[in-house]
Amino acid sequence: SNVCKRLLEELTTRGLALDHPILFVIDGAKALEKAITDTCGGNAVIHRCNFHSVPRRAQTRRMQCSFTDKTSESVSLGQMAAA
């Protein structure tokens, strides 16, 4: 959590304004979520990445499709869940 907080502090010194709502799309890491809420308070809008919210098995299937199937640009979440 401390590493994540330092990252956010570094971003604020580089000009990231925390006085308005900011959307954070994260992978579900609890330390990162805590650091964001501790640093940004009520201005943090946290959303979990859809890729990271599906089962690992479906993630693997999606990655295999993206590397091997050149005719399909992406696989829908429904298809991933069914994999």
Reply yes or no on whether the pLDDT at 81 is more than 60: no
If one compares 54 and 3, the residue with the highest pLDDT of the two is 3
- Tell which residue, 47, 57, 56, 54, has the closest CA to residue 78: 54
pLDDT at 4: 87
pTM, entire model: 0.57
Which residues 6+ apart lie within 8 Å of 22 measured at CB? Answer: 16, 40, 43, 44, 45
- Summarize the confidence of residues 50-79 as an average pLDDT: 57
If one compares 38 and 27, the residue with the highest pLDDT of the two is 38
pLDDT at 78: 54
pLDDT at 1: 75
Of all helices (H) and strands (E), which one includes residue 26?
A: strand 22-26
- Summarize the confidence of residues 46-69 as an average pLDDT: 64
